[in-house]
Structure 1
């Protein structure tokens, strides 16, 4: 039931994220004006704004002018729904679920924007600091359970440490990444630090591994050169999502090989 509810929530959030991804890079409000067809300007009717279903019923075309509607819209909605359901299955019904779902929505929006315009907008990243801090505080308080404050302190320190690490990388090689990556690193560092320093370290390392593998693959296929610009934000977000899952077995293996030997 939890997975189904979160998946349905993901469909609705995904529809909103389509608006965010289009308007935020352009400095437009995500609230007004209402969504309209970019070809004819007609406002989209409520019945034509049902995630995925409306696109299918309209056969991917505007009701008024027949202009094609990109497949990206239903794909973003479906992807967000799947990710929300997966997060719910992994996290379960806990006070950690709200922050995990929030970061999932932010990750979808930021990844698409970074791919589109090679930017991580402050309008999304900066408000995430107080939101993530507040939701992690709620998870540490655990209403109805036993409060556990050390993870929250570790989260705050993790945010500072990861932001500082990325800032050092930018100062050492300004062409390698931008300040948007530094700002995002602080948010992801808080989330990863809440789980522990081992997960934090894996989350710091994974984006470089994943991004490096993709870069080598693109060079091998002739689709990129050594100086080609590849958005790094999506790899930071993917690394932060994967780290809490893979870090425990990975660290157990590493300790078994080193200490156990």
Structure 2
């Protein structure tokens, strides 16, 4: 059994390594396939020994072997986070189609969050992938889950579209599309829980960030990471939060 969990963890590390490629290249409009992985400073093509998740970073001491340029610690952090998330999601939800969907959702949300944090954009490729994958995986479960997913996607996208209009651009198109994908995976009830958590977390952390940076209230803060965090919390605790809320009446 330990060997099986180790395999899940290693798979997550490998997927995390690919997510790093997506995070770096997608906002630049570059291909995810070519050119092969290389140092962005000296263009040194990375060999197999330099592409091992986490271990390569440690062995290279966080620097390029050729030019000595610093490698961001985000790379091993993303790989470790993905590996641990794979193990946790499989442990909690078991070996089922729904779990596969949650793995895809986590990868999409992590990628979208970091790109949004760096560039204040959420590439359409990520949101469309989530919507498409979510619809397929929901359809493989049952007609009921598919309908719930469709309603969740339309409700999520519709609510944020209304907010974008009312706030006159305060909510971006990337956020709207991302929430559509989240809604497809979670269904309409859990989507509402996810949005509630996202706005609460976003308000608190944004306020703290603005105070620390001593910036004005009109400072643009990417909302994608908060939408993603709300969705991840909902995956694990959404049912309990929803039941607690309903029992209050």
Gaps of 5+ in 1: 141-147
The answer on whether the counterparts of 1:3 and 1:88 sit within 8 Å (CA) in structure 2 is no
| 1:183 corresponds to | 177
State the Cα deviation string for residues 200-250 of structure 1 (Å, max 9, x = none): 221121111110111222344454431111110111111111113323222
Cα offsets for 1:66-103 (capped at 9, x unmatched) = 22222121111111112222212221111111111111
What is the CA–CA distance in structure 1 between the aligned matches of 2:238 and 2:134, rounded to whole Å? 21
Residue number among 130, 142, 149 corresponding to 2:143 in the alignment = 149
The TM-score, its normalising length taken from structure 2, stands at 0.93
Unmatched 5+ residue regions in structure 2?
none
Residues 177-205 of structure 1 show CA distances to partners (whole Å, capped at 9, x for unaligned) of: 11111111111111110xxx432221121
Q: How far apart, in 2, do the equivalents of 1:223 and 1:188 lie?
A: 33
In the alignment, the residues of structure 1 paired with residue 218 and residue 166 of structure 2 have an alpha-carbon distance, to the nearest angstrom, of 17
What TM-score do you get using the length of structure 1 for normalisation? 0.89
Following the alignment from structure 1 to structure 2, what is the Cα–Cα distance between the partners of residues 149 and 4? 35
Contact 1:55 1:74 in 2 (8 A): yes
Paired with 1:58 and 1:244, the residues of 2 have a C-alpha distance of 36
Q: 1:254 to 1:65 in 2, by over 3 A?
A: closer
Shift of the 167–5 alpha-carbon distance from structure 1 to 2, 3 Å rule, reads: same
Structure 2 distance, partners of 1:223, 1:76, is: 29
Give RMSD over aligned pairs. Answer: 1.6
Q: Tell which structure's C-alpha radius of gyration is larger.
A: 1
- Judged with a 3 Å threshold, the aligned counterparts in structure 2 of structure 1 residues 159 and 43 are, in CA distance, closer, same or farther, namely same
Aligned residue-pair number: 247
How far the C-alpha of 1:129 sits from its partner, in A, is: 1.8
Out of 38, 60, 79, the residue aligned to residue 81 of structure 2 is 79
